[in-house]
Amino acid sequence: TCTSHVCKKLFLLCFRRYCLMALTSCLFWNTFGLSAAMDSKPNILLFLADDLGIGDIGCYGNDTIRTPNIDRLAREGVKLTQHIAAAPLCTPSRAAFLTGRYAIRSGMASSNGYRALQWNAGSGGLPANETTFARLLQQQGYTTGLIGKWHQGVNCETFNDHCHHPLNHGFDYFYGMPFTLLNNCQENKPPELDVALQAKLWLYSQIITLAVLTLTTGKLTGLISIRWKITACFTLVGSLFFISWYSSYGFVHYWNCILMRNHDVTEQPMRLERTASLMLKEAVSFIERNRHGPFLLFVSFLHVHTPLFTTKKFLGKSRHGLYGDNVEEMDWMVGKILDSLDKEGLKDHTFTYFASDHGGHLEAQDGSAQLGGWNGIYKGGKGMGGWEVGIRVPGVFRWPGVLPAGTVIDEPTSLMDIYPTLVHLAGGILPQDRVIDGRNLVPLLQGRAEKSEHEFLFHYCGSYLHAVRWHQKDSGAIWKAHYVTPVFHPPGAGACYGKGICPCFGEGVTHHDPPLLFDLSRDPSEAKPLSADTEPLFDTVVRKIGRAIEEHRRTLTPVPEQLSVYNVVWKPWLQPCCGTFPFCWCDKEGDSTQSL
């Protein structure tokens, strides 16, 4: 036995030693266990939706479209509420995502009306001297794959040089569309590509045809004295004019709507009724083949871009028509791919990410039916470089045991941040010969950093700077200055209905001097612009952002414009073809789409 006094001393001594051991163990795990988990290169699974609005999924507040699988990722990981695309349109946004750099640095930002690649047979695309995250991970021993949409170009000088192809940008395997979905890819849908130009070309062709018929009739009736050679010349010129444009726009279904496996065209034109099954099968197969890792799988969805082709299993199932059906089908595909990770025992060793390339397409309509996304409380939509919903997108991360589950981060982040984040996880080194605009998100995602590394984010519309965001870290304010905004049509509509998307320059925009200024931390809907009368810091903020613009522009260097008119026009000698041009049609998939 012992006295109570001695027992107390012994108890306190043991308790202190226990606490010290527990504390040491905890520190050891946080310092070494987490480090060890990070040092063993994780598999990386990236999901990128096309045209998905931030308000379209449950974990961002939608309670009518069912997205249980994406919501599960958010519950089991980290959700970003201020995740920003570097551009409001597919081609430049994806170029920035792949390279960690604003699209203007690589020449993937346009100064004309063509702000995205228009044809598989154009000569523009992601330059060979740009280094994608796939290339850097490939160098770190990763097997890299891309399933789905590319939209970064194919060829430069010949139909098979594949200078812009995914396999020339660090991907070991590619299956999907080198282009993007369009209404033209589905029968009985109104054309989507260059609609206004096509209307003019049809009008000119009809005028020429009418002129030829008038001359011929006049000659035959004797009312017009003209030589037959002149009539024949008019006929030849008119025929050549018609052939010159109809040979491209008349066959968009064949030229743009194709599927490729690596360098080979497998479907031309593609059969949309089985495309989702093919993409899903390829993604699951890639995971199974590379389960011993490490692997990078980039699943670049064709959903939810128009024409919103949806399989029968999901048609009419949602409460939001065809668009809701398409979103729910995409979520189902996410779930199936996540199930394959679970089946292979890879869930805890896979860094998973879900986002959209830009905001929802407000102008996408079929009569009164909305075919574009819902953007929640935010202003704007796809194609708008400054307004929030052109660029604010979902951003969800999951890595069980490494990233804290159920975390919400309100700091400004960018799709460009994925580049340095993945390179860090893979143990690679960022390129030192160029500016990288993205920032490593790992400290922020783990909770080891409270603030985003971004102080300024620059919001481009094509090659035109429309707005700038300043993250004033000491006060928590998120200032945003708009120097250019689109003119909505009709006025006050919040979008450019009748134009497809809002323009970046010309008569379709308004310039602001001084800029429209908002504090997004107080006014996330950008409803009430501030002024020197209503905001004491107005002049200080505007000057600060102005200096940041000057510094940013000093980091830009001239590069060839990949989206120039010459680079985006259709060139028949560059057309990917599974036969002998122009006889380009094939179906090498057959009945390979078994239900998954």
Residues acting as catalytic residues: 90, 151
Residue with tokens 């033209």: 184
Cα–Cα distance list, 45 to 79, 123, 171, 191, 507 (Å): 16, 30, 14, 34, 43
If one counts every other C-beta atom within 10 angstroms of the C-beta of residue 30, the result is 12
Give the C-alpha separation, 482 to 212, whole Å. 52
Contact 399, 352 (CB under 8 A): yes
**What are the C-alpha distances in Å from 561 to residues 197, 439, 446?**
22, 26, 39
Q: How far apart are CA 467 and CA 88, in angstroms?
A: 12
Residue 486: in which H helix or E strand, if any? strand 477-486
Quick one: CA dihedral 96, 102, 106, 111, positive or negative? positive
Helices (H), 29-153: 34-39, 68-75, 90-99, 103-106, 133-139
- For residue 399, what are the contacts with CB-CB under 8 A and spacing of at least 6? 42, 77, 350, 351, 352
Q: Is 194 left (phi over 0), alpha (psi -120 to 50) or beta?
A: left
Q: What is the DSSP string of 105-124?
A: HHT-S-SSS--S---TT-S-
Residue 74, CA distances (Å) to 345, 427, 449 in order: 20, 26, 20
Per-residue CA distances from 282 to 35, 164, 174, 262 (Å): 33, 22, 10, 12
What single DSSP character describes residue 292?
T
Contact yes or no for 447/465 (Cβ under 8 A): no
CA distance 180 to 148: 9
Please state, in angstroms and rounded to a whole number, the distance separating the CA atoms of residues 468 and 551. 13
Half-sphere exposure of 218 (CA within 13 A, CB side): 14
Q: State the Cα–Cα distance between residues 507 and 513, nearest whole angstrom.
A: 17
**How many other β-carbons are positioned within 10 Å of the β-carbon of residue 220?**
9
